[in-house]
Amino acid sequence: MKGALLGFGLTAAAWVLFALMYSLIELAMGHVPFQYLEWGVGGKFLTFTISWILLLGGLIGYVSERIRAQKGR
């Protein structure tokens, strides 16, 4: 379970970093940085994509932990 939480946490941290970088770039260009979070087609797609990638990160961490346990590490 520790591996799944680690994988989820690392994936979530990467998403937060990407969102921060995007927001800073949008602010530097003079745009509204959080306009992409509106619940239109773009917001739904973004929410769906982030959810699946977070799930995938957690699953990769879980599988990695299971493989290490089987090999005795």
Q: In the structure, how many helices (H) and strands (E) does the chain have?
A: 2, 0
Per domain, the residue ranges of the chain are 2-71
Own/partner long-range contacts of 32-40 (Cβ < 8 Å, ≥24 apart): none
Predicted TM-score (pTM) above 0.85 = no
| pLDDT per position as a tens digit, 8-45 | 888 888 888 988 888 888 889 888 777 766 677 667 78
Q: In Å, how far are 11, 25, 51 from 22, measured between CA atoms?
A: 17, 5, 18
d(CA 17, CA 25): 12
pLDDT of residue 37: 66
